[in-house]
Chain A
Amino acid sequence: MLSIRDLHAQIGARKILKGVNLAVRPGEVHAIMGPNGSGKSTLASVLAGREGYEVTRGTVEYLGRDLLAMEPEDRARAGVFLAFQYPVEIPGVNNAYLLKAALNAVRKQRGESELDAFDFLSMVRDKMKLMQMDESFLSRGVNEGFSGGEKKRNEILQMAVLEPKLAVLDETDSGLDIDALRVVSNGVNSLRSGERAIVLVTHYQRLLDYIEPDYVHVLSDGRILKSGDRSLALELEKRGYDWVRQEAQVA
């Protein structure tokens, strides 16, 4: 589904990704872990098409297409979803409008008709219950005045509504208390399926207690230094990141 080969990216003159290789197949959950500044969020941003990042080498293939050549909205319509580390507050654009416009854009791409207001609302209500969000959120501005936890839940609500093929969750666990983490994880787990791939970008292994990954990768200084299964995350929890770097230097 997703194939990243030798990806190099920089912001201005600062090189951040220095040859990332990663293959993700449908149904898989990958966790990308790493210390601060290792390039985790840059990788997520490059996949979603955020401006300001220059890809200097490498390719990203998504469902047989050159992902890097696609506009951000075309990626979204093709089933790529980024849950933001810092969801943006947009006063005056209401949540219901955004959900509906986003869903209809995706449905159009899939060759489906637009949902009418009734079907849309009943579907969104169900998903809001799952995320334990009050319906009043619908009429509020996008993320406007939301707490940190509410913003993260809202991201997963959008993901649940849009049903992406590839979801990239950028530090979705950061700033969450244990209850919110459970709600967000439940939401993500409910979206696990054989057709959907999920890439979790996280600093802490705590999230992986709730969302069990099939693969764990350690990103450090712009490269994936080590890959393994769930047990790698537990080892990182115990030993930190330094030993991976030392091991890589020796190798």
Chain B
Amino acid sequence: MSAVAHAEPLAPYRAAYEAASLGESGTQAFRKAAFARFAEVGFPAAREEAWKYTSLRRLETRKFALPDASASLPDRADLPAPLADHVVVMLNGVLQPRLATLDRLPAGLRVRSLGQAMRDGEPLGALLRVPSGGGTERFAALNAALCPDLLVIDVDPGARPDDALHVVLFATGAAAEMTHPRILVRAAAGSVARIILDHQGDDAAERFVNAFVDVEVGPDAALHLYRLQSQGGRSFQIERIDATVGQRGSFLMHDAQLGGSLARLDLNTRLVAPGAATELTGVFLADGSRHLDTHALVDHLAPDTRSLLDYRGVAAGRGRAVFNGKAVVHPGAQKSHARQSSRNLLLTPGAEIDTKPELEIYADDVQCSHGATTGQLDPAALFYLRSRGLTAVEARSALTRAFAGAVLSRMDLPRFATAVHAALDGRLDRLLENSA
């Protein structure tokens, strides 16, 4: 782990940092400290536990630049269809008021840029926080150093916006570029809100999307976060979502990790006060030569906290997926419940899924369970369907959809669920035809 070994892959990032003139003045000191942290930690060494099954060597060899600010950006027509009444768009990490429905947001839902939030007197330390710990600390620090903007979403106390807010995070550009989208969501006491994070990008170039999402869920608030990651097939996508949940608050996340060439999601949830709860459910599909890695960590830091982690993964072709779920029940977090389930399906012999459920328990009066399975489609079920006239492809497709459907059926936002189904269906059809 010598500094020399890390110097070369960091060079393009240093060059980008030094050449950048990023957004708001007054952020320089923060960015400098953040970049220093990134440089200090550097890329993961081969033996780093958090990156055991995911190598970033390919990313390290790339020299991504920051996006050309003068390039013409796509219009609404080029972007994904709205999945909710309220839409906010970030292009290459910059909030685009012209593409948003900012003028008709529902009462109690506020959306601001970094500049606006600073002008409103928000402390930079909260806006551009660099989290510590975890395998993606380095990338969160890099994000803080290089993010051109910040999308601040506030749900006011007691507010219950009628429809979800659809946040489109679109990566675009003709050159090999990196973008650093950053979002801060604060759900104030007693509020109930639904937010869709929709990661997409064009496939015109290889790119690196390094996202950071900071979530604060206040007392008695419920925040539903729906995430669809369908980045282009040439993209590196690294994302960290840090959520802190207050007393009797709940953070409910539905995740569909579908895109990118290499994608890593770190989902860190801290249940910091009694009664806080989280449910993290998701599905991932590693087909082709895609590599998808999901690390979900729940820290139970107070009594009577509950967590449910329920992920289903599918891999096919030369696809590879990693799922690491971990619940830590800290001392004093008595009467807590932690449940974990990781079920995985390998459609072809060349595919691989590494799953590791972990529980660390430092309290004696708790209920915890975990289970992980990796298997193939049931031959008896396949024969049963074929004996009724379904082709082998149709039978495999029906069983694969049924497998993923157990998680998808819990995505209680119809337009989002439809979008995920559509994204999955097209891909499943192609890969099942090819593997038949």
Contacts and interface: CB of A to CB of B under 8 A. Distances in A.
Does A pair with B? Answer: yes
Interface of A: 48-51, 71-73, 75-77, 81-82, 84, 87-88, 90-93, 97-98, 101-102, 105-106, 109, 141-142, 158, 162
A76 B405 contact: no
Contact of A90 (B379, B385, B386): B385
A93 B383 contact: no
B387 A90 contact: no
Interface string B396-412: 00110111011000000
Nearest to B383: A50
B392 A76 contact: no
Given A51-B379, A73-B391, A88-B381, A93 B386 contact: no
B401 A71 contact: no
Interface in B250-291: none
Given A48-B387, A77-B389, A162-B388, A101 B380 contact: no
Given A77-B389, A102-B389, A105-B389, A91 B402 contact: yes
Given A92-B401, A93-B398, A71 B392 contact: yes
Contacts of B384: 84, 87-88, 90, 142
Given A51-B379, A92-B405, A93-B399, A101 B390 contact: yes
A76 B389 contact: yes
B394 interface: yes
B385 A92 contact: no
Given A93-B399, A93-B402, A97-B398, A88 B380 contact: yes
10 contacts: A48-B387, A73-B386, A77-B389, A88-B378, A90-B381, A92-B406, A93-B401, A98-B388, A101-B398, A105-B391
A92 B406 CA distance: 7
A71 B389 contact: no
Residue from A51, A72, A77, A82 whose CB has the most chain B CB atoms within 10 Å: A72
Nearest to B401: A92
Contacts of A82: 387
A6 B138 CA distance: 71
* B contact face: mostly helix, strand, loop, or mixed: helix
B402 A92 contact: yes
Given A93-B398, A93-B399, A93-B402, A158 B379 contact: no
Contacts of A91: 402, 406
Contacts of B401: 92-93
Contacts of A48: 387
A5 to B, nearest CB: 23
Contact of B389 (A87, A90, A106): A106
Contacts of B391: 73, 105
Please provide the 5 A-B residue pairs with the shortest distance between their CB atoms, ordered closest to farther. Answer: A92-B402, A105-B389, A76-B389, A102-B388, A88-B384
Nearest to A91: B402
Contacts of A76: 386-389
Given A73-B392, A92-B403, A92-B405, A49 B387 contact: yes
Residue from B381, B384, B395 whose CB has the most chain A CB atoms within 10 Å: B384
Contacts of A93: 385, 398-399, 401-402
Contacts of B381: 88, 90
Contacts of B392: 71, 73
Contacts of B389: 73, 76-77, 101-102, 105-106, 109, 162
A106 B388 CA distance: 9
Residue from B386, B405, B406 whose CB has the most chain A CB atoms within 10 Å: B386
A101 B394 contact: yes
A111 to B, nearest CB: 15
B390 A105 contact: yes
Contacts of B385: 90, 93, 98
B191 to A, nearest CB: 34
B390 A90 contact: no
A132 to B, nearest CB: 22
Nearest to A142: B384
Interface string B65-82: 000000000000000000
A162 B379 CA distance: 23
